Structure 1
Amino acid sequence: MRYLFVALVFIGLLSGCSKDENKPELQGSWYLKSFQCCQAAAETYQEGDVTWTFGNDEILTVDVATEIDQYSQLPLKFSDTYEYTTTSKTVKIKTLVFDYYFEGNTLILSDSPETGGALIRFSAK
């Protein structure tokens, strides 16, 4: 009977593990990789040029370490802090609302890219 109990506990522990444990989270620091909007060519950035840090306190810190073209449509193109809120699929920063999802360790923020809206890609810091 004891072996049956140990076997059940072991099976319970194994079934408690999930693949979501390795899933990235929005909170943390992200390097901007690219930005595309309005059918224009994608703007690409080097690691460390622009960093967005989503804090657990619902404060986004944007650090811009390079000059952004004055004609860029990139939202939040200056170093500053912003309040943000999230749902399971969206993030709202100021009045901007983006869908967010992950492809591997890439964070993607999108706002109707199929109709010319923004598509922003970040890599984990």
Structure 2
Amino acid sequence: MDIYQSPLMSLPGITPEEFSYLQQATTGLTEQQLRNFLMVYSSKRKNPSDMLIFCLIGLFAVPGLQRFIIGQIGMGILYLLTAGLCFIGSIIDVVNHKTLAFEHNQKMVFESLQMVRMGGFQ
């Protein structure tokens, strides 16, 4: 299948790393399972562009917002109480926003695959 015809390409802001990770992870799924996976995964994943916006808001307005968004509540509270670890942590998150999004998305791939394979999503 041509990569441009792949249903995985319908995800907004998909990076080449995420695409190859998803291709490996979804190998062996039936077409129906792949559709179900995409439906579940697309609702859980974070677009790297959106993550950049969250990081910038976290830098200038609400320290730790980006950490709360990706489910790292403890780090979010720490950033909130320390002004983004004296702005250094927030600046690092702005620079590494793609990595934050990709790591979060990897966890969501695993969760989504578990739901689809266990038959928890029909």
TM-score, reference length from structure 1: 0.25
Bigger strand fraction: 1
Question: Which protein shows a greater Rg?
Answer: 1
Higher normalized contact order (CA 8 Å, seq sep 6+, divided by chain length): 2
